Amino acid sequence: MLLGPYRTFERTIRKKSSVNQSSLGMAKFSQREWLIAPGPASKELAINIASNFGADILHIDSKVFPDGESYFRIISDVRNKRVAIVQSTYPPIDRHISQLLFLAHKLSEDGAEVHAIIPYLAYARQHRAFLQGEVVSLGVFAHLLRSVGVKRVVTVDIHNVEGLGLFSIPAYSVSAIPLLAEYFSKNHTLSEAVAISPDFGGAVRVEAFARILKINRIVLEKVRDRTTGEIIFKDVAKQVQNKDVILVDDIISSGKTMELAAMKLKEWGAKRIFATCTHPLLVEDALDRIKKAGIEEVIGTNTIPSPVSKIDVAPILASYLSTL
């Protein structure tokens, strides 16, 4: 599946001994009715997906008790139906994960074929052990999803595509980059714009974004002192002076990198500075600090509800479901 020039990444596990059974199974599954199950973290997005996809909403009774425990009751009949749970795993991360697991287990137990739409996939930045003794948290999450009966996972702009390899069930990442680029095309008249990735890890992302808008791109070279945490950027003043700049990333969490990048870009003579991301975590006072650093507007998607979540990812997720 392709979404503009920024391709969808996927990880699929196939067993040679089950080819015929799989073919028969898919034929059977294709006749099943789809239902969209809204998780507590993504109710509005789930409704949008159902509307775009033309599926019914699964009726779920849910609440959180005063002590923090979650309660669920499935109201609708789900036997022999395909159910897509929509549950993003932004903070409180572990609560949202446990809610997803509870729902998936009950739906599978009741006879549904369970798919998990996890717009923001928590722990994706912990896709491997960087130091000896570290837990590969995403691998544990992937194992738990399979253990409760999830048959397929789809997320949006996973932090590192290597993480998809930790899943022993089909796992996919669709991209919101074309939607973010379209927003700028429709809402801003840019002056000799440059798209910038704040680090090398976003090189592919910023290349796709820049190609859509037909503008130049830069990947900032930065060095982070592992002791002090201080970030130093290589000078690109000649490439940004008197130009509009769009900082492009997958996640804005603490906002520290964006804040420092914006301050440097202002110092180098950039005209206007915008920031865009798929997942606007914006922890604590991140948004205020980013704006104070000189960023004119921050644009994110609704994988995470926030004041800057202006882009709806429901159409690309509904489009993905239509291929199954």
Residue with structure tokens 């130009």?
Answer: 243
Provide the H-helix boundaries in the chain: 19-29, 43-53, 93-109, 137-147, 177-187, 203-213, 237-240, 256-267, 286-292, 314-321
Choosing from 222, 256, 266, 291, which is the catalytic residue?
222
Contact status, residue 298 vs residue 308, Cβ threshold 8 Å = yes
- Cβ atoms within 10 A of the Cβ of 59, count? 12
Task: Read off the tokens for 247.
Answer: 């900082």
For 221, how many CA atoms within 13 A lie in the half-sphere containing its CB?
Answer: 4
What is the biggest distance separating any 2 CA atoms in the chain, rounded to whole angstroms? 63
Residues shown for the chain: 324
> Does residue 295 come out as left (phi exceeding 0), alpha (psi in the -120 to 50 range) or beta?
beta
CA distance 188 to 16: 51
d(CA 232, CA 118): 34
Annotation says 81 is catalytic: no
Q: Which residues are catalytic?
A: 222
